[in-house]
A and B are shown apart, each in its own frame.
Chain A
Amino acid sequence: MAAAVAINGNASSGDWEGRYYHVDQILDRPGPRTDPSFLAGDEVKDFLRNKCKILVIGAGGLGCEILANLALSGFKDIHVIDMDTIDISNLNRQFLFRQKDVGHSKANVAAEFIMNRVPGVKVTPYFGKIQDKDEDYYLQFNLVICGLDSVEARRWINATLVNMVDPENPESLKPLIDGGTEGFKGQARVILPTVTSCYECSLDMLNKPTAFPICTIANTPRLPEHCIEWASVLEWPRVHGDKKMDTDNPEHIQWLYQIALHRAQEFKIEGVTYSLTQGVVKNIIPAIASTNAIIAASCCNEAFKIATSSAAYLNNYFMLIGTDGVYSYTFEHEKRDDCPVCGGESLDITLSKDWTVERLIEILVERQDIQVKKPSLSSPGKQIYFQAPPQLEEATRPNLEKKVSELVADGGEITVTATTLPFNLSLRVKYT
């Protein structure tokens, strides 16, 4: 105990005797599996408690657990992003929120709660979308943890962090820890952008969302879900035309519910309720607090190990299946060469300022090391030359005569696709 007291004296202000007694058992001495670069003692504690800046994306079921775990394990500079507001149905598991908070920003309330409860921890909230922030924002963090419920948001943050990696700047590589749960199942993984397999690499492992054949919905409904899909997929566009359905709008859900209920009665189907309607159209899977707790703990454990190098971190995929008993499996998910985000070939190419697009294509075709036939070229947001379909070939044909330097800035990127390439090739253009 005496040793712990002395060591804790060095930590940041606001820490009391023995505050991190248990955590310090790990940080004060190396273990058999610690990384050789592990600096036991004050330095690592100073990094964890005073220097390390960590970003938590999502302040929902996983996010609340993650924030609490991080704060209690000694991270003191935590940022959190969430675009959602608190709904009454969140309160059973998102324990940083109370009834009075319903309608307020999840990020703001969660940050406030943690700061009140855990002295000395600074939580900086952002109530908005991850897409609002640019690279400079993400560059300030040492680590990113995601507790998201959407594939789209995960793909975005994954692609952003992979794209951010700059070969000239080691600080640009931000470890991404991704947690996810679905009912009794969950997963936690460590992504080191460009080094390990990324989120996009594993996209084909995802369960596809339940979709019913549209003909069943239209003609032979048997389940309450069929009636709800009928209301949302077929009746909504028929009745409301181009008006977009907003699944967060109670009036819209109410309308769908009434239509679905009527349909269900017609076919003598039971079980269409307001909450099932909401569940089906928003694709809600029942969330289970204990699954969230396990996955959040696993994610924070990885964050702690990566931030401190005190133990070997997860390599690189942990899955939990709690549907029949408790089963877990850890494996190394492999990088995919044809991953559109982190895979594909990449090449630095030096061109003369006067060379045309046509000349660039000839150079690509002749190069032995890439062996590309009929390449199509684009720069971000702009087509340069497309081999097909005919209309686009024609539209982009005038570019063949243009100088590459008129279309792409120095240091700019060109994406090349061709049937002969596994996925794509990205060129970084330099001019002489």
Chain B
Amino acid sequence: MIKIWSMKKNEDQASKKKPKTSAAQIRVQKDLTELDLPSTMKTNFPDPADLLNFTLTITPDEGMYKGGAFVFQFNINSNYPHEPPKVKCTQTIYHPNVDLEGNVCLNILREDWKPVLNLNSVMVGLQYLFLEPNADDPLNKEAAEELKRNREQFLYNVKTTMRGGALKGTQYAKVTA
């Protein structure tokens, strides 16, 4: 066998034994403890010992969704950050980029995810969807078309559904405080 050990002798730092904490765990610890969130976003850990499953509540202080509290479920698997976190909206909301099942159309959650991105970027990206709903990348097609066609009507629909109203046969969740 080659004598690898002789090569090691010259390195003092690297020769120390490493902890058994998984790379995904360390990375999540780093991401979470360095979160720099504005007052409009808050994380909640149902089990504080479990860093991989938590919710994020976004309460936009401007824009069309002002006054609502939108809750997203985050699930991070052991392949993070190779794979993006799984994020779903837990409420039925009227939004061009969120469908009625809570799926979110945010590029960095799927096709543009990179391991250099972190939880902070995802959270900021989500908040941006509420400030600037994007009608060109729709997941709720009707909402997107309404936004393009008639902004006033769209705004009215947003307000109605945020209060827990029904629209075209769909019952929406009450998200206002």
Interface-central residue, B25, B32, B116, by most chain A CB under 10 Å: B32
Chain B residue contacts of A428, Cβ below 8 A: 16-17
Q: B145 to nearest A CB, angstroms?
A: 11
Q: For B111, what are the chain A residues with a Cβ–Cβ distance below 8 Å?
A: 211-213
The smallest beta-carbon distance between B38 and chain A, in angstroms, is: 13
Chain A interface mostly: mixed
- Which residues in B have some Cβ–Cβ distance to A below 8 Å? 1-5, 7-8, 11, 13-23, 25-27, 29-30, 32-35, 37, 42-45, 48-49, 51, 78-79, 82, 97, 99, 101, 103-105, 107, 109-111, 113-116, 137-139, 141
- A274 on the interface (CB 8 Å rule)? no
The interface bits of chain A over 85-114 (1 if a CB of B lies within 8 angstroms of the residue's CB, else 0) are 000000000000000000000000000000
Report which A residues bind B (CB closer than 8 A).
35, 37, 47, 52, 142-143, 151-152, 155, 159, 162-163, 165-167, 170, 173, 175, 192, 194-195, 200, 203-204, 206, 208, 211-215, 218-219, 233-234, 237-238, 306-307, 309, 313, 340-342, 345-348, 376, 378-383, 386-392, 395-396, 413-415, 417-419, 423-424, 426, 428
Chain B residues with CB under 8 Å of A380's CB are 19-21
Question: How far apart are the CA atoms of A426 and B18 in the complex, in Å?
Answer: 7
Q: Which residues of A contact B49 (CB under 8 A)?
A: 382-383
Contacts of B138 in A (CB 8 A): 215, 218-219
B115 engages A413 (CB within 8 Å): no
Task: Report the nearest A residue to B44, measured CB to CB.
Answer: A391
Knowing A391-B44, A428-B17, the reply to whether A340 touches B27 (Cβ < 8 A) is yes
Q: Among the listed A195, A200, A211, A395, which residue makes an inter-chain contact with B110, where contact means beta carbons less than 8 Å apart?
A: A211
**What's the least CB distance linking A88 to chain B, in Å?**
29
Residues of B within 8 A of A194 (CB): 8, 11, 14-15
Q: How far is the CA of A111 from the CA of B84 in the complex (A)?
A: 38
Q: In the complex, what residue of chain A is closest to B113 when comparing beta carbons?
A: A208
CB neighbours of B16 from chain A (8 A): 167, 346-348, 426, 428
With A and B bound together, what is the CA distance between A376 and B79 in angstroms?
A: 22
A to B CB contacts below 8 Å, 27 in the list: A143-B1, A152-B82, A163-B20, A173-B4, A173-B5, A195-B4, A195-B11, A204-B116, A211-B110, A211-B111, A211-B113, A213-B110, A213-B137, A219-B139, A234-B101, A306-B2, A345-B13, A378-B29, A379-B21, A387-B33, A389-B42, A390-B42, A392-B45, A392-B48, A414-B19, A418-B33, A426-B16
Report the bound CA distance from A37 to B5 in whole Å. Answer: 13
CB closest chain-A residue, reference B140: A218
Q: Of B33, B99, B103, B115, which one neighbours A203 at CB under 8 angstroms?
A: B115
Given A213-B105, A215-B138, A218-B139, answer yes or no on A192-B4 (Cβ-Cβ < 8 Å).
yes
Alpha-carbon distance A35/B29, docked complex (angstroms): 44
Residues of A within 8 A of B42 (CB): 389-390
The smallest beta-carbon distance between A213 and chain B, in angstroms, is 5
Q: Which residues of A contact B29 (CB under 8 A)?
A: 376, 378, 383, 386, 415, 417, 424
* Residues of chain A with a CB closer than 8 A to B104's CB: 214
B18, A342: Cβ atoms closer than 8 Å: yes
Contact of B33 among A192, A204, A376, A423 (CB under 8 A): A376
B89 to chain A, nearest CB (A): 13
Who on chain B is nearest to A312 by CB?
B2
Whether A155 and B20, one on each chain, are in contact in the complex, defined by CB atoms closer than 8 angstroms, is no
B115 and A204 contacting across the interface, CB-CB below 8 Å: yes
- Do A203 and B82 touch (CB < 8 A)? yes
Contacts A213-B111, A346-B16, A391-B43 given; indicate if A340 touches B11 (C-beta within 8 A).
no
Shortest Cβ-Cβ A-B pairs, 4 listed: A413-B19, A346-B16, A170-B5, A376-B33
Q: Which of B1, B32, B45 is A388 in contact with, Cβ under 8 Å? A: B32
- Closest chain A residue to B107, Cβ basis: A213
Contact B32 A340 (CB under 8 A): no
Q: Which residues of A contact B97 (CB under 8 A)?
A: 215
Report the separation of the CA atoms of residues A307 and B2 in the bound assembly, to the nearest whole angstrom. 6
How many Å from the CB of A54 to the closest CB on chain B?
A: 11
Other contacts beyond A47-B1, A376-B33: 15, CB < 8 A: A152-B82, A170-B4, A195-B11, A204-B114, A213-B110, A218-B99, A218-B103, A218-B105, A341-B18, A378-B25, A381-B21, A382-B49, A417-B33, A418-B33, A428-B16
- Give which listed residue, A215, A383, A389, contacts B137 with CB less than 8 A: A215
